[in-house]
């Protein structure tokens, strides 16, 4: 009995480690074997995931921030914001991806598709 408990614990540890190794970051999307995450370009999103089910577009004005995190107060930039929704069917969660000027800014999981 004691040997069986050790084997069960060992198996559980291996399964847990495998699941953690394959887990996606909180803000990532798996399209088949490929992964989309923040900072990816719209062309990569289209190549890996295809055309979205729907697209909503609007513009916002915001204070610019450069790649080093410097904020340019007193200036504004116009940003094209697109929200792409993917519906992968009734057995998978729908996904809404926000693109700022063609770059993935946010990924949100919605309810199950239809």
Distance CA 58, CA 51 (A): 19
Stretch 25-43: mean pLDDT: 87
pTM of the model: 0.71
All domains in the chain, ordered by first residue: 28-112 (3.30.1450)
Question: Which parts of the chain are beta strand (E)?
Answer: 28-31, 34-37, 54-62, 77-86, 93-100, 103-112
Q: Which residue has the tokens 């909503």?
A: 56
Question: Which stretch of DSSP H or E encloses residue 71?
Answer: none
pLDDT higher than 50, residue 106: yes
pLDDT tens for 47-82 read 999 999 999 999 999 998 888 889 998 899 999 999
């Amino acid at each position: 009995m004691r040997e069986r408990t050790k084997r069960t614990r060992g198996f559980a540890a291996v399964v847990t480690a495998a699941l953690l190794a394959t887990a996606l970051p909180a803000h990532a999307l798996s399209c088949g074997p490929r992964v989309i995450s923040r900072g990816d370009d719209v062309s990569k999103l289209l190549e890996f995931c295809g055309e979205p089910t729907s697209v909503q577009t609007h513009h916002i004005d915001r204070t610019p921030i450069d790649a080093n995190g410097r904020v340019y107060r007193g200036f504004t930039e116009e940003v094209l914001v697109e929200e792409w929704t993917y519906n992968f069917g009734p057995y998978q969660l729908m996904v809404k991806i926000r693109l700022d000027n063609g770059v993935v800014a946010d990924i949100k999981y919605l309810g199950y598709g239809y």
